[in-house]
Amino acid sequence: MAVFMDAAVKLAAEGRRIVQLAPGTKRPMHREWPKVATSDIAVIERLWAQTPTANVGVVGGHGLAMVDVDVDAGGHDALLHLEADHGAWLPDTRMVRTGAGGRHFWFATDGDVASWNPGPGVELRAVGRQCVAPPSIHPNGKAYEWMDAGVQLAPLPAWLVKRERERPVPEISSGPVTGLADPILEIPPPVYVPALTGREPDRAGFIVCPLHADTDPSLKVYDDAERGWFCFGCERGGTVIDMAAHLAGLSPPIRGRDFLAILDYLRGRLP
């Protein structure tokens, strides 16, 4: 299946950093994939010679950001609302149709920008994230396809850039706004992850992820509250609030009374 190798080599020649994904999945083959991502064509050729059917992942950052629009999660409508709110459409840029029918919009950035979720089903994948690239195969068996492979990357719109250290602000319908700087948010992940999941990180800081059918520990528990946690299998991560929300069956970002309810729950579970 030289087609996957050829695609990876072509992207690397553009300066993109590449990771191998397990065949037919969105999961990186190497647990420490951010460290082994490469644009070295000789390395890429060797990797795909060993696993010819491996999918192709492209790492964000280093001048690249990708907007992932998940139509099943309401991303199409959320993007329309974002565009309306900011009075601007996404500019023409390189675009991918995912195997699930979603869209990935590729943008050029002036320096690195933070990854975040500007709306339900809309994710900006930049530093610390990766996107599946064509002609990779989705878990449903359908291929990712370029829709505008030859289009020049447009600059990332300023309204999609997350301000440094921005945190979700709870929207309270009535009463005083509280919980904006709660000590709970400063508890380090090595403390709150075991308390919430009952699973102790291994020596490398990983646990078996409780949010998907994980057999090989893929959820990384970082040391500080700012970095939080991230699962390289289901590609979810965030703060203690995000973890509690996922475990409760809620979809971050959490605001309003749900935010306050989770804070109250955590106060009863964490030191």
C-beta of residue 229 within 8 angstroms of C-beta of residue 188? no
- pLDDT at site 176: 35
Whether the predicted pLDDT of 175 surpasses 50: no
- pLDDT at site 156: 96
Q: Is the domain of 131 the same as that of 194?
A: no
C-beta of residue 80 within 8 angstroms of C-beta of residue 89? no
**236 vs 214: CA distance, rounded Å:** 13
**Average pLDDT value for residue range 158-163:** 84
Q: Is the domain of 88 the same as that of 139?
A: yes
- pLDDT at site 19: 96
The packing angle between helices 2-13 and 41-50, to 10°, is 160
Q: Which two tokens mark 161? A: 């850039």
- The answer to whether residue 171 is domain-embedded is no
Q: Is the domain of 27 the same as that of 153?
A: yes
Q: What's the domain range around 42?
A: 2-160
- The answer to whether residue 189 is domain-embedded is yes
Q: Is the domain of 9 the same as that of 110?
A: yes
Q: Is the domain of 151 the same as that of 43?
A: yes
101-133 per-position pLDDT tens digit = 999 999 999 988 888 888 888 889 998 889 999
Whether the predicted pLDDT of 214 surpasses 90: no
Q: Is the domain of 118 the same as that of 222?
A: no
